Amino acid sequence: MELNTIESHGIGAAAERSAGTDRTAKKVFVKTYGCQMNVYDSQRMTDALAADGYVATDAVEDADLVLLNTCHIREKAAEKVYSELGRIRDMKTERAEAGRELLIGVAGCVAQAEGAEIIRRAPAVDLVIGPQTYHRLPDVLARVRGGEKIVETEYAIEDKFEHLPQPKHAELARRGVTAFLTVQEGCDKFCTFCVVPYTRGSEVSRPVAQIVAEAERLAEAGVREVTLLGQNVNAWHGVGENGEEWGLGRLLFRLAEIPGLARLRYTTSHPRDMDDELIAAHRDLPALMPYLHLPVQSGSDRILKAMNRRHTARDYLALIERIRAARPDIAMSGDFIVGFPGETDEDFEATLKLVREVGYASAFTFKYSPRPGTPGAEMDGHLSETVKDERLQRLQALINDQQQNFIASVVGRTISTLIEKPGRRPGQILGRSPWLNPVIVDDKAGGIGDIIDVRITKTGPNSLFAELV
Ligand code: SAH
Ligand code: SF4
Ligand code: F3S
C-alpha cells in the first residue's frame, strides 16, 4: 500500500450528486496529500463540514472552500502545498473580482508544523488547522466567515473522535467496500529522521468500544474490509470492553467477530511493537490478511542506531522468522531510507543484504530528506543528491525484481479476491488480492462486495488477471 504519495482530489463525488437537490449549498473541495491517515481524516473533515451544510465537490472551480490536507514527511511533500496555494490564490483573486468569496484552508501535518508561518508565506490562506482539532472545524469556519484569520494548532483536551460527527449510512455505503479506521494516532518513538512525533503529537489510542462501534457501522453499510490505521498502529493499547487494557492482537480477534467484516489489515507497524498476541492473530485469524507492512529503514546496525530505531537488523530478521512460522504465506512489505547522514557504501550494502534475506512482495524506498527540527537534520555527514540517487536506483531495482518474482509466483494459484468496483474496460471487474494487488476478472464472476476464489492466469506490472474457479 502506497504510504506517502497519495494525492487525491475531491472526497465526495456522491455528495456532489446530492448537491443536485440543493444548488444553494456551500461546496468544499478537499485535496489530500500524504498517508492513509490523511485520507481518513479528509473523510472525517468532510463529515464535519456536511453537518455544517457543506457539500463535497470534485470540481475545484465550484468550491466555496478549498481545504488542503497536507503532508510534511519529506521536503517535496511540504513544498507541493505552497505551489498549490499559489494556484488557488489566483482563483481567489479572480473570484473576488466577480464578487464571490473563496475560503482557503490548510489542514494536516504542514498546518501543525508551520502554523501561522503558512499565512505569512501565503496570505490568501484563511485558516490553518492541525490534525488534533478537526472537530472544531465548523466553529473555526464561522469565525473565518466573520472576517478573522484563524490558526488552530493547539492540542485539544477533548477527544476529537467523540466530537466528530459520523457519516450517514448512505454516505458510508457510497464510499465502497473497503474502509480505513484510525485506531491510534501520534508517535513516541522519535526516529531521528522523522517529523511525525512533532506533527501528530504523542501516542493516543482510541478505546475498544469506540472502535467496535465504528467498525460495526462500516459493516452495516456493506464494508467487507477494514484497515486499522495508526502511525504506530501496533503500539495501540486501548481500554477493552471489560475495562482491561488490550493490545492490537486482541482487538483484531474482537473485530473479526463482527458479521460482514471478512478482511482485516493494519498499518503502519514498528518492529518493536510486534507482540506474541499480534503474531498469534496472524496464525489464528483467517480474516487477518497475510500481508504485513513492517518498515525497517536500513539494514546497517550503525545507521539503525543513528536513526534511533532501537533494534538491529538481526532483531528484524528474527522477528520475520517468527511471523513466518506463524503464517507461512505472509507477504512482507517495508519502507527504506537511503542516504541517511553518515551512510557509507558498506552500510548501504547491508541494506541490500537485508532486502535479499527478507524477500519483499513490495516496498517503498525514499531518499533521506532533512526535516527542520529533527535530530537527523543536525547530524554530520549529509550525502550528495548524486549518491542518494544512485543508491535509490540500486535499491529500487532490487525491490522491483522481488516484486516481479512475487507476482509471478501467484500465477496458476487460486486466491481469494474481494470485488471492489467495475474495471476500466467494459466486461471487467476489479478486485483486490490478499496482498493488495489489483485483480482483473470477468464481470460475471461476482458483484461488488463479494469475496470469490479466482485462478490467476497472467500478470501485468502490478495487477493480476484471473478467471473464476
Ligand atoms: N510510522 C511509520 C512510518 C511513518 S512515515 C513507521 O514507523 O515505520 C513513512 C515512511 O516515510 C517511513 O517509514 C520512512 O521510510 C519515510 N520517511 C520518514 N521520514 C523521512 C525523511 N525525513 N526522509 C525520507 N524518508 C522519510
Ligand atoms: Fe516516524 Fe519513527 Fe514514529 Fe514511524 S516510528 S512515525 S518513522 S518517529
Ligand atoms: Fe505525512 Fe503526516 Fe502522514 S507527515 S505521512 S500526512 S502523518
pLDDT for the residue numbered 13: 39
Quick check: CB of 189 below 6 Å from ligand 2? yes
pLDDT at residue number 2: 35
* Residue 72: per-residue pLDDT: 97
For residue 403, which of 441, 436, 366 has the smallest C-alpha distance? 436
Cell numbers representing residue 335 in the block: 519502507
Q: Which stretches of the chain drop beneath a pLDDT of 50? A: 1-21
Most distant CA pair in the chain: distance in Å? Answer: 66
Q: Strand 150-152 relative to strand 127-129: parallel, antiparallel, unpaired?
A: parallel
Evaluate: CB of 337 within 6 angstroms of ligand 1.
yes
Instruction: From 316, 366, 399, give the residue whose CB has the most ligand 1 atoms within 8 Å, as the site to mutate.
Output: 366
State if residue 294 touches ligand 2 by the CB under 6 angstroms criterion.
no
The residue to mutate among 335, 360, 392, 399, having the most atoms of ligand 1 within 8 angstroms of its beta carbon, is 335
Q: Partners of 67 in the beta sheet?
A: 30, 105
So what's the pLDDT on residue 7? 47
| Its pTM surpasses 0.85 | yes
The bound ligand whose nearest atom lies closest to the alpha carbon of 293 is: 1
Listed residue (199, 178, 202, 179) closest to 189, CA to CA: 202
pLDDT score, position 157:
77
- What is the distance, to the nearest Å, from the Cα of residue 3 to the centroid of all Cα atoms in its chain? 6
Burial of 135-148, coded b for 16+ CB within 10 Å and e otherwise, reads: bbbeebbeebeeee
Other Cβ atoms within 10 Å of 252 Cβ, number: 23
| Nearest atom (ligand 1) to Cα of 336 | 15
| Burial of residue 262 (number of CB atoms within 10 Å: 0-12, 13-18, 19+) | buried
Any atom of ligand 1 within 6 Å of the Cβ of 184: no
Q: Is the CB of 72 under 6 A from ligand 3?
A: yes
C-alpha cell recorded at residue 362: 513490495
Asked whether 232 lines ligand 1 (CB < 6 A), one says yes
Cβ–ligand 1 contact at 323 (below 6 Å): no
List, in sequence order, every residue forming a beta bridge with 465; answer none if it has no partner. 440, 458
Residue count of the chain: 469
Quick one: which of 75, 233, 203 has its CA closest to 132?
203
| Separation of CA 73 and ligand 1 centre (Å) | 7
Helix (H) or strand (E) holding 333: strand 331-338
